[in-house]
Structure 1
Amino acid sequence: MSFPSIRVAVSAASRATSLLRTVQFTHPPSCPCHSNPSHHHHHSPSSSSRLSQHVRHLATPLDPSHQKEYAFEMAASSIRFGPGSTKEVGMDMKNIGAKRVCVVTDKTVKKLDAMRNVIEALEREGVEYTIYDGVRVKPKDSSIKHAIAFAKPYNADAFLAVGGGSVIDTAKLMNLYCVYPEADFLDFVNAPLGKGLPIAKPLKPLIAIPTTAGTGSETTGTAIFDLVSKGAKTGIAHRHMKPTLGICDPLNTRTMPSAVHASSGLDVLCHSLESWTAIPFYERTPRPTNPINRPAYQGANPISDIFSLQALRSTVKYLPRAVKDPEDFEAQSQMLLAATLAGVGFGNAGVHLCHGMSYPISSQNTDYKHQGYAVDYPIIPHGVSVAVTAPAVFKFTAASNPDRHLAAAEAFGKDISNVKKESAGEVLSEAIAEFLVALGDQPRGLKALGFNSGHIEGLIEGTIPQQRVLNLAPSLSKELGAEKEELRKLFEESLEY
């Protein structure tokens, strides 16, 4: 290659790098070699030697395990939003050629209009179906395995989930293990609790019809459950798991009790806050050796930001109205839309500390039963378990990016015009606490859920395995000892607010 052609190649690489910079909200390293912490430049007065050195950087393959990420992907289900759209699902199944459909729901939702409309729609189009109504609210690995055992012999062409996040997540896993019938249950479960293998082939079509406004599971490739033997919540996350279509019909959320509106909405609140404040995608390591290994949760990126911030603003505006007045259909509809927006945001950027800490809070609960939930076993709703640590968490993470935390505080209605950056965490923490208190009937800390300082060690041990989300937490130490001390402080501060 001649010297002029080298110069052209480097110039083109520089232009491409500049273009990448323009779509990112801060400036990551301009060249892959610059993001290598073990690389050292040896400066030379000779411009030609510097040029040839740069060309070698571009041409020499580098060890991706030491490299930061340089790309992000955007994946979300197709979404149909509108009152009455549930009635179209029979035509949807016929359009994709599904002749045998496994309908997944729970015993409460089975009695509601949403299911009645689904069955009428399938029968109108002559689509054969079977119903599995054994989904457990807050699924355990045992309830997931029971559902998979039901689905395998039926050999469905497609799956249809009608219910909240527990139902949709269970349907995703039924679909996965029907396509991989010989797989061990832990093969795809997130590491280190499972093997974390990538899902190498597409799954069968799955249409999700949410009846709650919270999880955003209709848009994401994530499914969460209790791994009882480990005393921790975990899950499986991959783009192939996302539903083919999410039908978001606001008529289906009108049956939610006020307590379910509140806790579901708090999940939306934390989805949006956590994905907005997660580490930037280009700070995540290691860089995948193959794009199939790029995780679903990638860190904040310019596209997820748009969805996350809008979901936060909508939740602050409409959740108090939806909880206060069950007849406020505008607020209910806007919360369903916010849940979906947040699903697109966190389904690509990921969540971090509130969710990582919530999993042991939920799974180690022994006797707390949240009011308004019609179950005969102890339950801390997911939205409650994530929100209870939020005031402490965002006070802690603010130092990583004060501007983002101040923007979040502004979404809560705070005047940030004269707030110093070092006060960003306190201002946002206070805004979240005030919002939770004003919502009413929310436990003001872990003590109200039955935990005390003697439980903190167990909660820490249940949080440490959640590396999939902890790796996206800004400000959190990477060394295990320091990480544990920071988590201890966060749990202590979350005992009451």
Structure 2
Amino acid sequence: MLSSRCQCPTHSHTYSQAPGPSPGETTDYAFEDLQNMGAKSVCLMTDKNLSRLPPVQIVMDSLSKNGISFQVYDDVRVEPTDGSFMDAIEFAKKGAFDAYVAVGGGSTMDTCKAANLYASSPHSEFLDYVNAPIGKGKPVTVPLKPLIAVPTTSGTGSETTGVAIFDYEHLKVKTGIASRAIKPTLGLVDPLHTLHMPCQVVANSGFDVLCHALESYTAIPYSMRAPCPSNPIQRPAYQGSNPISDIWAVHALRIVAKYLKRAVRNPDDLEARSKMHLASAFAGIGFGNAGVHLCHGMSYPISGLVKTYKAKEYNVDHPLVPHGLSVVLTSPAVFTFTAQMFPERHLKTAEILGVNLYPGSVALQGANIRTAKTQDAGPVLADALRKFLFDLNVDDGLAALGYSKDDIPALVKGTLPQLPM
């Protein structure tokens, strides 16, 4: 039996059994900041819209209060391109910064990762670190500066991942840079930063979380990945589904099933917005380790080949298919196709999304799951997803984004370069 007088944090009454702080008492906290990192010259990256909103102002006030010199780069492009990446990279090189802060969604965080990487490797060509076959896919061997990521959307989980995605305009496809070396040093996940998001932005961001969780949970298992790289530095950032990533993916999916619709429908629902912000980080940890597959691979040309479509409630001056929307539109077809590999996992995710799979129940299309499990897994999950999207008034298919049958060859061509990262 442990001594009642043990004073370690685990067993002491002082640490573990106090009901709360006494009046006037300051509670403990955990915090790490740029001042503690010894930063002297900081690059603050954001976009034009966010630069006028509270999250950026809070960061600037904090930097000023603590006497830290900083410069603001607010030309981040929503859905960045190689051109916008290179513009940010030039700004970072000229500034000779010793730390970075990214305040925004995935576009901002990914742009800041790229700026940090190429400013730290100033003699590298842009395509050196870009994923093959579009780029050379060289491993990152240079040390990077500290990067603090402050997400203001609940979707990409980019504060947790070593991936930076952009449109390669010459080929009209999306690609990216994938390396554990570009992961942010620290992510500050504060749900109060998400309260400014319009409802449609909440929905599209949430769809990204949904697909991150579904894809990483149904990805090829880590034990089946081949070939084995000759050197560990060549190992892809994505390792396939595994027992650890599975936990994050399933937990994130449960949160999405319970809270996404609430977060979209009621901007003042702080609990729902908070839960979705956590789900974004959880799913990011999951897919940042396991990887994603067809929904994301097919989404890149859907975004990259956009003609005139402009998403609702996005204040941009260029045609735009938001990443989360481009990902989720193909999900019913994708999971109908992939279910033959892991039907049990597809049925489990359908159940999380609200399909009744208990013995004797009847699924959405009348299939008894317990007696027709293998053949029904794909259609059941697909129907669950269609209902989920219908409830949130999602644009109905690629035709609603301006695509026709004539675009299929280009969409296929844009999908094929998306090799495992």
Kept after mapping to 2: 8 A contact 1:216/1:343: yes
Q: For residues 194 and 284 of structure 1, what CA distance do their matches in structure 2 show? A: 22
Q: In structure 1, what is the equivalent of residue 173 of structure 2?
A: 232
**C-alpha separation between the residues in 2 aligned to 1:102 and 1:133?**
10
Do residues 423 (structure 1) and 376 (structure 2) align?
yes
Kindly provide the CA deviation profile for residues 231-257 of structure 1, in whole angstroms up to 9, marking residues without a partner as x.
110000100100000000111000000
Task: Note the alpha carbon deviations across 1:432-461, whole angstroms, 9 max, x for none.
Answer: 000000112x11111111111111000000
Structure 2 counterparts to residues 374-413 of structure 1, below 5 A: 374-413=315-354
The 5-angstrom pairing of residues 340-359 of structure 1 reads 340-359=281-300
Please name the residue that 1:459 is paired with: 411
What letter is aligned with 2:153? Answer: T
- Identity, in percent, stands at 55
Given residue 240 of structure 2, which amino acid in structure 1 is its aligned partner?
G
SS of 1:322's partner is helix
Contact 1:207/1:244 (<8 A) preserved: yes
Partner of 2:241: 300
User: Offset at 1:202?
Assistant: 2.7
Partner of 1:104: 45
Q: Which has a greater percent of helix?
A: 1
Match of 1:433 in 2: 386
Task: Report the equivalent of 1:26.
Answer: none
Shift of 1:290: 1.7
| Residues in 1 aligned to 2:87 and 2:155: alpha-carbon distance in whole angstroms | 25
CA contact (8 A) 1:263 1:384 kept: yes
In the TM superposition, residue 201 of structure 1 has moved relative to its aligned partner by 2.9
Match of 2:120 among 173, 179, 195: 179
SS at match of 1:399: coil
Structure 2: distance between partners of 1:412 and 1:102: 41
- 1:280-305 CA-partner distances (Å, limit 9, x unpaired): 01111111222211111111011000
Q: Deviations over 1:80-138 (max 9, x none)?
A: xxxxxxxx98x600101111100001111111111111011111111111110010000
Task: Name structure 2 gaps, 5 residues minimum.
Answer: 1-29, 359-367
- 2:390 counterpart of 1:449: no
Post-superposition shift, 1:157? 0.6
* AA matched with 2:395: P
TM-score under structure 1 normalisation? Answer: 0.76
> Is 1:286 the counterpart of 2:227 in the alignment?
yes
Instruction: Output the amino acid matched with 2:159.
Output: E
Equivalent-residue separation in structure 2 for 1:282 and 1:162 (angstroms): 37
Structure-2 separation of matches of 1:130 and 1:153: 11
| Residue pairs, 1:21-420, within 5 angstroms | 92-417=33-358, 418-419=368-369, 420=373
SS for the counterpart of 1:102 is: strand
Q: Which amino acid aligns with 1:431?
A: A
Any conservation in 1 of the 2:121–2:142 contact (CA below 8 Å)? Answer: no
String of CA shifts for 1:337-388, please: whole Å, max 9, x gaps: 0000000000000000000000000010110111111112111110100000
Q: TM-score, normalised by structure 2?
A: 0.89
Shift of 1:421: 2.0
**Structure 1 alignment gaps of length 5 or more:** 1-87, 470-497
Q: What secondary structure does 1:215 align onto?
A: coil
SS where residue 370 of structure 1 aligns? coil
Contact 1:399 1:425 in 2 (8 A): yes
Q: How far apart in 2 are the matches of 1:127 and 1:255?
A: 27
Instruction: Answer whether contact 1:104 1:159 (CA < 8 A) is retained.
Output: yes
Which residue number corresponds to residue 45 of structure 1?
A: none
Q: Deviations over 1:29-71 (max 9, x none)?
A: xxxxxxxxxxxxxxxxxxxxxxxxxxxxxxxxxxxxxxxxxxx
8 A Cα contact 1:190 1:468, kept in partner: no
> Matches of 1:300 and 1:309 in 2, distance apart?
12
For residues 150 and 330 of structure 1, the distance between their equivalents in structure 2, rounded to whole angstroms, comes to: 38
Question: Following superposition, which runs of at least 4 residues in structure 1 exceed 2 angstroms of deviation?
Answer: none
Query: Residues of 2 paired with 1:147 and 1:383: CA distance?
Result: 24
CA deviation profile, 1:142-176 (whole Å, cap 9, x unmatched)? 01101111110111110000001000000000000
Question: How far apart, CA to CA, are the structure 2 residues paired with 1:129 and 1:376?
Answer: 28
- Match of 2:205, SS state, is helix
CA deviation string 1:456-475 (max 9, x = no partner): 00000000000126xxxxxx
2:133 and 2:401 mapped to 1: Cα distance? 28
Larger radius of gyration: 1
